[in-house]
Every structure is written in C-alpha cells, then in structure tokens.
Structure 1
Amino acid sequence: MADDPVMEKYSPFMDNFKGLLLAYFMPESCYDEFFLKFNFLDVPCLKIVLSKALGIGIILGSVLVKLPQILKLMGAKSAEGLSFNSVLLELLAITGTMAYSIANKFPFSAWGEALFLMLQTVAIGFLIQHYGGKTGRGLLFLVVYLVLLALLLSPVTPLSVVTYMQASNMPAIIIGRLIQAATNFRNGHTGQLSAVSVFLLFAGSLARIFTSLQETGDSLMALTYVISSTCNGIITLQVLYYWNSSPERKKKKKKRE
C-alpha cells in the first residue's frame, strides 16, 4: 500500500507538535490517552496538563508581573508608600523557594517564576533606596544580595540550610506583607504600589497552590503558597479599599484643613 502523500506532508509537523507536548505539557502516556485513544476526560492526565499549562503561564506572566511597579516608581521618581523591609522579607521568601526548588531538582515549571520575581524585586529594592536619597546603600544592597545568592546556590551550602530557609518563608511572608499592610493603613493610601502587580501576584500565588501539589507533591511548598495567597489577598483588598485615595489627595485634604 502506497504511503499517503497528505500524511507524509504533515508528518514533520505532527512530530514537532508531539515533541512540544511531551517536553512541556504531558508524559507520553497522556499523549497516547488523548491522541490515540481519544480519551479527553482522563482526570489524572487533565490534572497534569492543567498544572503544566498553569505553571508555564505563571512563569510567562512573572516576567512582567512587577514591571508595572518598577515603571510606576521610575515615572513618579518616588517610592512613597513602599516598605523596604517588606521588600527584603519578600526577597528572602522568593530566594528560599528558588534555592529549595533547585536543590530538590523540581521541574522549572513548578518554580520558574521565582527567578524572574527575584530579579524584579531586587530592582524595586534598589529603586526604593535610590529615590529615598540613599543610592550608595542601594548599590551595597545589590552587591551583598548577589554574593549571598551565589553562596546559597553553591554546593557548599547544605540541603538542611536550604530547607530551613524554605520553612522560614512562611513567617517572612506574613511579616513582610503585614508591614506593607500596616504602611498602607497608616498612610491611608497605597502610595506608589502598583495595583496591576498586586493583582497578578495574588492570582499567581493562588494558582501555585495547585501546581505545587501536582508537580512536586511537596506539602511545604504548597503551604508556603497558601500563606502567600492569604497575605497577598490582604494587600489586594487594601488596593481596592484605597482605590480612590492617593498621596496627592491626602496632601490637598490636609491643606484645606
């Protein structure tokens, strides 16, 4: 029987398509379930695909998630309303998650956003110092952090230390978010805090609860994201509550008084 010329034409495309799916979205058993048996309602495989798709979506979104915050700071040339201590604690949590995931060889789709969030959070930390008139301290912060990060990711750091860091994420996240929430409450506005970044962080942390359970099975990772979602939810509610408040309006109100 002669080969079907139509099938021969599309064979390279199908091979590439299959390779893409197997590399990023599903194991071969799920590919067979979906595309050979046409069983599109296989629950275990649907969970795997959903988790992989969410993970990749979160990573892609994380590339830009804090960019609105960075642009807002640079546009206003002010870091009013942002707590540097809160940023430090958030950076501790992000770094702990990244180091813990790398040490345990978790798939990149389960933690990749931590890399991009780390880079953007470091930039925000420097800008807070810079616009606060402490550029030298900001540069020192960059150097010290990069040295500590290199040490943490090196083989000389025991796994027990990395695990302890991941466990300490929960109090770090809680304290860091509460510091920012207290700053917002004290100011009566959210200052230069970007609503877009806050909403994206909240949505991403919620989705990560499912993906961390599905892809790593690590209860410590999942619990970290539960805590993170709760704390990010508090800041999100504050952004909504103070939506019509701003530093400029507060200043005008004080002048009238």
Structure 2
Amino acid sequence: MAAPSLFKSLVLVFLTEHCYDEFFVEFNFLDVPCLKAAVSKALGMAIILGSVIVKLPQILKILGAKSGEGISIISVIFELVAISATWSYSVANGYPFTAWGESFFLAVQTCLIGAMCLHFGGSSGKAGAFTVGYSGIMYLLLSGIVPFQFIAFLQSMNILMIIISRMTQVYSNYSAGNTGQLSSITFLMLFLGSIARIFTSIQETGDLFMVATYAISTTCNGIILGQIWYYSGVKTKQQ
C-alpha cells in the first residue's frame, strides 16, 4: 500500500472522510466540529491505553502486602456492576470502541482485585467462584441473549451503583481512619480519566445519561483521592 494511502487509512480510523478532507486536502485545521471530533478520539484512545494499567498500582500493592486490607469487597462488587453495565450497554448500542473501550480493561482488573481480596482474605474457593461467575454473566450480557431492555435498566441504575460503590469505600476509610492498600496513583488516573470521559461522551455518543454517570464518577473518585492524601498526611505527621 502506498504511503499516502496508508496514512489516509490510519487517519480514517479516527476521523470521518469529511474531516480528513478538511484537514489534509483543504488544510482547514480550524474546522471546529472536526477539531472536537479529533480531540475526542485522541482522548478516547488515551483513556483506553491508560486503562490497561490504571489499576496495576493497586494490584501490585495488594500483591506486595499479600492483603486487601482497607479495600471494601462490597465496593468492588458494586463498581464491577457499574463498569459492566456501561460496557454491555455501549456494545448493545453500537457505540464506537473509543467511547467505552476502557470498560473492558477496568472490568478485568476490578474482577482481579476482587478475587485477590477474597483469596488473601482466606477464601480461595470464593475467589475462584467470583471470577467464574462474573465471566459467565458477562458472556450472557454481551452475547445478545439478554434483552436490550434489561441492559438499559442496568445502565439506568449505574449512577446509583457508582454512588453506593464509592460511598461504601469512603465510609470504610472514615471508619478505619486510614485507606489501607488503596493506591493514590490508581485513583488519580481514574479521576482524570472520568473527567475526560465527560467530554468524549458528549462528543461521541450524545447520551446524557452516560455524561451524568461520568460526572458522578468524577466526584466520587475525587472524594476517595482526597481521603487517600488526607490520611497519608495524618500518618506522616504521626510518624
């Protein structure tokens, strides 16, 4: 394939034919709708790439300590439900991968964190059942067997799931007076990613419910991030 043709094929993965012509034929780099589309696609890809490792610091911290201390398994389960609802809802609606791709990687990592917390808590059998059970549920949700109305219902409950998930963790942190094995790097990346997702959801889906979901997620992640920094400062002063 000739170089110009290859370049165009790569660009068209992210932009429409119209925007390609505006940018690289007419050299009109100030076309506002195309600029918004380009920024949205770039942010979407950046979020997806970041999501591949976003919870790796948390996973490594649990592995290093061989403990899930401070991590609420109830919070993990509700978070997994919320992520899975967005993933299956986006697939069912045919939204572009750049609008939801991080949900897949976040789901895998969150499931792993839940399984690790159960395993290091002395329940290896429950950890295995948790992983297998979740995999089976996601197969059903993505297979087309489950009616769209049910998937839409799950998505409509997403905001509530996120609030329950994060507030459970917030209360757990407050009650313990520390944040245990929670990773500040992970929650900082989640906070920044959810901010960016507000823009990409507006641009790529126009789904106001998804926009509201990410707005709530941003707020909740910010609260937990603040707790991590606060309790870290308290611990430093005590030492």
Q: TM-score scaled to structure 1, two decimals?
A: 0.89
The one-letter code matched in structure 2 to 1:225 is Y
**Corresponding residue of 1:72:** 61
Identical residues among aligned pairs (%) = 53
Aligned 8 A contact 1:89 1:176 in 2? yes
The one-letter code matched in structure 2 to 1:192 is Q
1:168 to 157, 175, 179: 157
How many aligned residue pairs are there?
239
Greater alpha carbon shift after TM alignment, 146-155 vs 67-76: 146-155
Deviation at 1:32, TM superposition (A): 1.1
Aligned 8 A contact 1:188 1:245 in 2? no
Superposition RMSD on alpha carbons, in Å?
1.6
Larger Rg: 1
What CA distance in whole angstroms lies between the structure 2 residues aligned with 1:245 and 1:183?
Answer: 17
Structure 1 unaligned residues grouped into runs of 5+: 1-10
What CA distance in whole angstroms lies between the structure 1 residues aligned with 2:158 and 2:234?
Answer: 31
What CA distance in whole angstroms lies between the structure 2 residues aligned with 1:141 and 1:173?
Answer: 20
2:29 partner SS: coil
1:163-205 Cα shifts (integer Å, max 9, x gaps) = 0001111000001100101111111111100111000001111
Structure 2 unaligned residues grouped into runs of 5+: none
What CA distance in whole angstroms lies between the structure 2 residues aligned with 1:84 and 1:76?
Answer: 17
**Corresponding residue of 1:62:** 51
**Corresponding residue of 1:31:** 20
Greater alpha carbon shift after TM alignment, 142-151 vs 118-127: 142-151
What CA distance in whole angstroms lies between the structure 2 residues aligned with 1:35 and 1:155?
Answer: 40
What CA distance in whole angstroms lies between the structure 2 residues aligned with 1:28 and 1:150?
Answer: 35
2:127 to 132, 135, 138: 138
Does residue 21 (structure 1) correspond to residue 11 (structure 2)? The answer is yes
2:206 partner SS: coil
**Corresponding residue of 1:187:** 176
What CA distance in whole angstroms lies between the structure 2 residues aligned with 1:180 and 1:14?
Answer: 52
Q: TM-score scaled to structure 2, two decimals?
A: 0.96
2:212 partner SS: helix
Does residue 93 (structure 1) correspond to residue 77 (structure 2)? The answer is no
1:73-118 Cα shifts (integer Å, max 9, x gaps) = 0011111100000000000000000000010010000000000000
Deviation at 1:37, TM superposition (A): 1.5
Structure 1 moving runs of 4+ over 4 Å: none
